[in-house]
């Protein structure tokens, strides 16, 4: 089983095609700077306010599997963990308003076909902070269980306050 | 009351402290912050104890984060970035801590955030339980009840541990 990682970004309402195209370029550059790649999911390239892509371990790879294998094996080597930084950078892009991160061991093909469905975006789970998502991604290491984890982030959600109340 | 953020970094053997302090300062300036490397008189005790816990004066480096090079503490960082409701497009301070933590010269770090004084800081003989940098980033942003709080990070620690959602 191979680990795949998908990202759905919802852009700010005022974004136009130029913004969207620039952001696609920026995402590819950001990924390349880390040595990763991104693969836009073909069903959604026509949606203006959404960009959905699969993260790949290199521009030529088919999934994120080797990122997890190289960076997130036990015992953790904090010198080599960069994948959460990449997620943080994506999240901090000023055009991004909401994000969904999906980690699955079902394989990249399934992710491309099903996991980033409009329905899934509509049935969003409770938002988490980017830090909680980063923590969870590393905590899962390269484990195959759970088979799917989804993180929903919204820049308008004061999620840390909610978490404080939960403690 | 104003918010103060201090830390002590444990450095790898052989690290050039002058070069490293420059690297730290460049990182701070990149975010628009400043750093001080001498503790104020009211927190000398915490700083000296923390330095001892992290290996002593040869190994550990104290710093205080300030909101800009000419400012006196981190208060304005919190006022500008971390006010309710959170505006995620302005929250940068945890990213700064992540960058510091990821500098290859750093082996471990102890951060403390307090509001005005350290009277309510839990006294511990040793170091607190290590946590992941990501939990510390969340804790730095979320802890608004006025309680002084320490965050200990160790690159040899296996944190984070998956506990389910």
Instruction: Please give the share of chain B, as a percent, with pLDDT higher than 70.
Output: 97
C-alpha separations of A11 from A3, A68, A87, A98, A131 in Å: 26, 27, 16, 7, 20
pLDDT at residue B86 in the model: 84
Q: How far apart are CA B86 and CA B97, in angstroms?
A: 18
Is residue B46 within 8 Å of residue B94, measured between CB atoms?
no
The overall average pLDDT reported for chain A is 87
Chain A interface, mutation test: which of B133, B142, B145, most A Cβ atoms within 10 Å? B142
Reference A52, options A37, A41, A43; nearest CA is: A41
Q: How far apart are CA B163 and CA B105, in angstroms?
A: 30
Is residue A8 within 8 Å of residue A45, measured between CB atoms?
no
Contact between chains at A138 and B134 (C-beta distance less than 8 A): yes
Q: How far apart are CA A44 and CA A9, in angstroms?
A: 11
Q: Spell out which chain A residues touch chain B, with contact meaning CB-CB distance below 8 angstroms.
A: 74-76, 78-79, 84-85, 88, 91-92, 94, 129-132, 134-136, 138-141, 143, 146, 149, 155-156, 158-161, 163-164
Contact between chains at A131 and B141 (C-beta distance less than 8 A): yes
Torsion angle in degrees (nearest 10) through CA of A25, A30, A36, A38: -30
Contact between chains at A129 and B141 (C-beta distance less than 8 A): yes
User: For the segment A73-115, what is each residue's pLDDT rounded down to a tens digit?
Assistant: 999 999 999 999 999 999 999 999 999 999 999 776 666 665 5
pLDDT at residue A32 in the model: 98
Q: In this complex, which of A76, A92, A134 lies closest to B134 when CB atoms are compared? A: A134
Per-residue pLDDT of chain A in tens (167 residues, 90 and over written 9) = 899 999 989 999 999 999 999 999 999 999 999 999 999 886 666 778 889 899 999 999 999 999 999 999 999 999 999 999 999 999 999 999 999 999 999 776 666 665 555 456 656 788 899 999 999 999 999 999 998 898 999 998 877 755 544 43
Kindly state the DSSP code that residue A120 receives in the 8-state scheme. Answer: H
Strand locations in chain B (E): 3-11, 34-36, 60-66, 106-115, 149-154
Is residue B146 within 8 Å of residue B99, measured between CB atoms?
no
- The tokens describing B137, both together, are 């980033």
Reference A50, options A84, A12, A18; nearest CA is: A12
User: For the segment B47-76, what is each residue's pLDDT rounded down to a tens digit?
Assistant: 999 999 999 999 999 999 999 999 889 999
Query: CB B156: neighbour CB atoms within 10 A?
Result: 11
* Secondary structure (DSSP) of B12-74: PTT--HHHHHHHHHHHHHHHT-EEESS--GGGHHHHHHHHHHTT-TTTEEEEEEESSTT-SSS
pLDDT at residue A116 in the model: 57
Q: How far is A8 from chain B (nearest CA, A)?
A: 18
Distance of CA B145 to the CA centre of its chain: 18
Q: Find chain B residues with C-beta within 8 A of A71's C-beta.
A: none
pLDDT at residue B62 in the model: 98
Q: In this complex, which of A84, A160, A164 lies closest to B134 when CB atoms are compared? A: A84
Q: How far is B6 from chain A (nearest CA, A)?
A: 21
**Entry pTM:** 0.92
C-alpha separations of B2 from B15, B42, B89, B115, B143 in Å: 33, 13, 23, 5, 14
Per-residue pLDDT of chain B in tens (165 residues, 90 and over written 9) = 788 999 999 999 999 999 999 999 999 999 999 999 999 877 899 999 999 999 999 999 999 999 999 988 999 999 999 887 888 989 999 999 999 999 999 999 999 998 877 776 777 788 999 999 999 999 998 766 777 889 999 999 999 998 776
Q: How far is B41 from chain A (nearest CA, A)?
A: 32
Is residue B40 within 8 Å of residue B63, measured between CB atoms?
no
């Amino acid at each position: 089983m191979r680990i795949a990682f998908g990202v759905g970004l919802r852009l700010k309402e005022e974004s136009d095609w130029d913004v969207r195209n620039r952001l696609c370029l920026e995402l590819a550059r950001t990924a390349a700077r880390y040595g990763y790649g991104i693969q836009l999911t073909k069903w959604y390239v026509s949606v203006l306010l959404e960009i959905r892509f699969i993260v790949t371990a290199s521009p030529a790879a088919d999934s994120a599997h080797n990122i997890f294998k190289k960076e997130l094996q036990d015992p953790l080597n904090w010198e080599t963990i960069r994948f959460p930084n990449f997620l943080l950078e994506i999240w901090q892009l000023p055009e991004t308003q909401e994000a969904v991160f999906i980690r699955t061991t079902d394989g990249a093909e399934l992710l491309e076909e099903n996991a980033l469905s409009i329905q899934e975006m509509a049935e969003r789970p409770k938002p988490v902070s980017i830090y909680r998502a980063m923590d969870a991604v590393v905590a899962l290491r390269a484990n195959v269980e759970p088979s799917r984890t989804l993180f929903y982030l919204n820049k308008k959600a004061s999620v840390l306050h909610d978490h404080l109340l939960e403690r | 009351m104003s918010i103060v953020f201090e830390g002590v970094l444990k450095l790898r053997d052989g690290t050039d402290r002058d070069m490293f302090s420059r690297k730290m300062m460049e990182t701070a300036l990149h975010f628009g912050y400043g750093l001080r490397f001498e503790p104020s008189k009211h927190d000398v005790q915490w700083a000296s104890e923390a330095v001892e816990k992290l290996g002593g004066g040869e190994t550990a480096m104290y710093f205080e984060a300030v909101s800009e090079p000419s400012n006196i503490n981190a208060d304005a960082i919190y006022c500008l970035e971390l006010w309710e409701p959170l505006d995620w497009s302005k929250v940068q301070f945890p990213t700064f801590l992540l960058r510091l933590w990821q500098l290859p010269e750093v082996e471990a770090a102890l951060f403390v955030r307090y509001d005005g004084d350290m009277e309510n800081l839990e006294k511990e003989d040793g170091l607190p339980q290590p946590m992941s940098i990501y939990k510390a980033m969340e804790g730095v942003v979320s802890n608004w009840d006025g309680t002084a709080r320490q965050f200990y990070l160790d690159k040899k620690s296996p944190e984070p541990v998956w506990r389910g959602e």
